Amino acid sequence: MENDQKAANAHSTAHDPNKCTIVLVGIMGAGKSSVGRRLAQALGIPFHDSDDEVEKAASMKIPEIFAKHGEEEFRRGESSVIKRLLDEPRMVLATGGGAFMNEATRQLMQEKAVTVWLKADLETLWRRVSKKGGRPLLKKQNPKQVLADLLTEREPVYALADYEVVSVDGPHKITVEAVRSALNI
């Protein structure tokens, strides 16, 4: 009984948003980096973006990694970077849109952190991603349909996150406050 109680306490402590890393998951354009930076600042803790960390580790930009080594190799590097970051002290971590799709990476996030799905509708996502280039998965015919298909495929997996917060099409501080409210932090 005592060991069960210790395990329960360890589990609840590991998932206390006031004590552990907060991982933002969701599809490209959901606002993980923008919201994450502001959330970390509000909480007074470090912010890391797994995409930035992958680029540093590979000494090349993500589109270059995709072009030279393919998506599979990118995902391998992404997994390794996320594993390393989850062993560091508490932070807000924004992940790439596909990171949570990897079962082993997702399991690690759920064991070591609190996961928050930033959810947005297709039109909001499309407005955001169409402003920026450099999205390798959208370098295809009819990129909006590609985004819609990715969203349909990924939403059931994103729904496995500990929390779901709508990323509104407005000032990022609104979504930051929604995350803080959901996590009670």
Q: What angle do CA 34, 104, 74 make, to 5 degrees?
A: 60
Query: Is residue 14 a contact partner of residue 83, using CB atoms and an 8 Å limit?
Result: no
Does the pLDDT value for residue 7 go beyond 50? no
The sheet that has 92-94: what strands, in order across it? Answer: 47-49, 92-94, 21-25, 113-119, 163-166
In the prediction, which pLDDT does 129 show? Answer: 83
In the prediction, which pLDDT does 3 show? Answer: 37
Does the pLDDT value for residue 146 go beyond 90? no
* Annotated binding-site residue? 97: yes
Does the pLDDT value for residue 71 go beyond 70? yes
pTM: 0.85
Confidence label for 169 from pLDDT (cuts 50, 70 and 90): confident
Name which residue leads in pLDDT, 151 or 169.
Answer: 151
* Annotated binding-site residue? 90: no
Name which residue leads in pLDDT, 10 or 175.
Answer: 175
* Annotated binding-site residue? 44: no
Does the pLDDT value for residue 46 go beyond 90? yes
* Annotated binding-site residue? 29: yes
User: In order of start, what are the domains of the chain with their CATH numbers?
Assistant: 2-180 (3.40.50.300)
* pLDDT per residue as tens digits for the range 9-20: 333 444 788 889
Identity of residue 133 = G
In the prediction, which pLDDT does 67 show? Answer: 86
* Annotated binding-site residue? 154: yes
Structure-token pair, residue 94? 């924004």
* pLDDT per residue as tens digits for the range 97-139: 899 999 999 999 999 999 999 999 999 988 888 776 655 555 6
Does the pLDDT value for residue 2 go beyond 50? no
- What torsion do the CA atoms of 119, 124, 128, 129 make, to the nearest 10 degrees? 80
Segment 55-80 mean pLDDT: 89
Helix segments in 44-121, DSSP class H: 50-58, 62-86, 103-112
Round to whole Å and give the CA distance between 170 and 124: 10
In the prediction, which pLDDT does 13 show? Answer: 40
Does the pLDDT value for residue 154 go beyond 90? yes
Name which residue leads in pLDDT, 166 or 133.
Answer: 166
* Annotated binding-site residue? 181: no
First-to-last C-alpha distance (Å) of the chain? 31
Round the average pLDDT of the chain to a whole number and report it.
86
Round to whole Å and give the CA distance between 28 and 32: 8
* Annotated binding-site residue? 34: yes
